[in-house]
Amino acid sequence: MIVKAADDFKRRSLNALPTLLERLAYICSLQMADGTYSHWGLTRTFGARAAQEAVRLAHVETAAELVREPIREIFSEYQYATSTGNERGLLRAESFVLNAPVNDDGLLGAHLRLLQNSVQALARQGRTTPQVA
């Protein structure tokens, strides 16, 4: 059941998002303060236990994949996802958060916070740096 829930989550929810950064940011938005995930459709279809495990597994896999990406690529994805011309509007700069799964060893969480802070610093720098003609 967990495998079916994980496949469904990846196919229906995550594959709708074009970038790895958007996928991870979406998963992080599902994470509650206690570390559980809130996904009504998965829970309704597969049950609470299978839904939790499916999203947690996707969280681990997606976070591990993102930390292997160059910061230049991650920032490019961030710029695309937050651009005003982006009709989807799925990623908002003011609510951009990258969290690790609750049961991670701490290193992944630290790396994700570093990536988040770096991307946000690059975005601020781009807004404050005068453009030369």
Identify whether 133 is part of a domain: no
pTM (two decimals)? 0.86
Q: How confident is the model at residue 128 (pLDDT cuts 50, 70, 90)?
A: low
Identify whether 106 is part of a domain: yes
pLDDT, one tens digit per residue, over 82-100 is: 886 656 556 787 888 999 9
Distance of CA 67 to the CA centre of its chain: 11
| DSSP string over 47-111 | -HHHHHHHHHHHHHHHHHHHTTS-HHHHHHHHHHHH-TT-SS----GGG------TTS-SHHHHH
Dist. CA 4–CA 7, nearest whole Å: 5
Question: Which residues form the domain of 81?
Answer: 2-128
Dist. CA 81–CA 84, nearest whole Å: 9
Q: Domain count of the chain?
A: 1
